Amino acid sequence: MTLPATMIHNLTLDELITKVRHRELSSKEIVTALIDRINRIDTLINAYVHIDPQKAISEAEEADKNFFDNLDKPLWGIPIALKDIIAHKGSPLTCASKILQGFISPYDAAVVERLKAAGAIILGRLNMDEFAMGSSTENSIYGPTKNPWDLERVAGGSSGGCAAAIAAGECFASIGSDTGGSVRQPAAYCGCVGLKPTYGRVSRYGLVSYASSLDQIGPVTKTVKDAGILLRIIAGHDPRDSTSFPIDVPDYPQLLTGEIKGLRIGVVKEYMGPGLDPEVKTAINNAITQLASLGAEIVEVSIPSTEYAIAAYYIIATAEASANLARYDGVRYGLRVDGADLYDMYTKTRGTGFGKEVKRRIILGTYVLSKGYYDAYYLRAQKVRTIIRQEFLKAFEKTDVLIGPTTATPAFKIGEKIEDPLQMYLTDIYTISCNLAGICGISVPCGMAQIQTADGSIKQLPIGLQILGKPFQEATILNVAFAYEQNTPWHTYKSPIAKL
């Protein structure tokens, strides 16, 4: 039975693969339906910053023509969207920044090569915080991305476009990046799945650097199985990335048994204390009860240095950003504002091209690396980072995974925190430690908060459960997430925009 074009967007990636394989849907039907939906819906959401419909439809027609020669390619003819920080040859690569407006990527990122090798069609590019510096996708030259559950609220960041596009039914799967929670936090706010792999699991070649020792590419999807499908494709060693780890990549979808009986799950007590929204806390406690009912052993664990994570992160990340963004000088590529001399040109180019938050982080990073402050700030932050990693590894000696909330609250209103950087930084309090420790983490929907509006009506906002795993144990966190997902209804809930 042929699925109506207006219903195609409701399919998961796994369902789509099956329908393409059985010739129930053609690639052209899928791509055309998705482009029509983006044209109709995205003016409300502002998730996409670039799309080339003609090229996507042409590639879909080619995929249909060569279908029988490519049955071994799991994503053959299926559209995937990219965060605007991942290189795709021939497409704009702006990182949502004025300083890169008009820049066209001359090559493909490693993850894009692997997606293409699997047969995927790169549909378009998604909105984000400028250079991935933000937690709300408000720091973008394209304007903020809005949350499909409530258009007055943020989609999260910095991969807000990735999560909003999924929640609005504007793509089946997207690829984002996570430096301090930038995949997991927007996934929690938008009610979808966000996976941050272990540092070194996925090549960073072709990912525009923010903080090189923290950045990691990861999928944002509708379901846990979809995340596993994408990770199986994009993971693996790449000699072009010196931090890429030479380790075998499991067949993640095949390992999703949903069996977690006897698994030891640690609840991080520091994640359940003051500052946690009551409805979020209730949802997490209910998730803990659910996992226990499936046979998991629940234990309490402690990561004592959690309170220092934000400070350590914003010293290390800004220091690395200060070094990485020095390449944008108006000489080699991107924006150039002429000046009286070279120094004047540098100053005018960067002053015009970088946004306020990016400038703030460059200044902070330069400061902590300067003479007299390096030891006092940067060196101490690196020591705290080492302690945090050691505390996680110690906790994993008596547990298989750790759990807690992804965010302290549901999505906040657009404009609510943009003028208060500290409050914005604190939204990542539960996700940052994962990046500092270099471990893997996933956020899955685990409940709905009830928000009363000014007119007395009630809106529902998603809540995310975060599951953290040992280095390179993505298969374990995916299976725990899958077990939880299959025994709860939250992944089936659709945003008001997805229903349009």
Tally DSSP H helices, then E strands, for the chain: 15, 13
Kindly report the backbone phi and psi dihedral angles of residue 11, in degrees, each rounded to the nearest multiple of 5, phi listed first: -70, 150
Known catalytic residue at 140: no
Residue 477 identity? I
Catalytic residue of the set 105, 136, 140, 182: 182
* 9 neighbors 33 (Cβ within 8 angstroms): yes
Known catalytic residue at 116: no
**Strand ranges (DSSP E) for 246-312?**
264-268, 297-301
Q: At what angle do helices 474-486 and 224-234 cross, to 10 degrees?
A: 160
* 100 neighbors 94 (Cβ within 8 angstroms): yes
Q: What DSSP state is assigned to residue 118?
A: T
State the CB neighbour count (10 A cutoff) for residue 342.
11
* 393 neighbors 331 (Cβ within 8 angstroms): no
Known catalytic residue at 65: no
Q: What is the helix, strand, coil percentage profile of the chain, to 5? A: 45, 15, 40
Q: Which two tokens stand for residue 239?
A: 């000699």
Catalytic residue of the set 19, 28, 83, 146: 83
Residue 121, SS3?
A: strand
Catalytic residue of the set 158, 177, 322, 433: 158
* 97 neighbors 130 (Cβ within 8 angstroms): yes
* 63 neighbors 76 (Cβ within 8 angstroms): yes
Catalytic residue list = 83, 158, 182
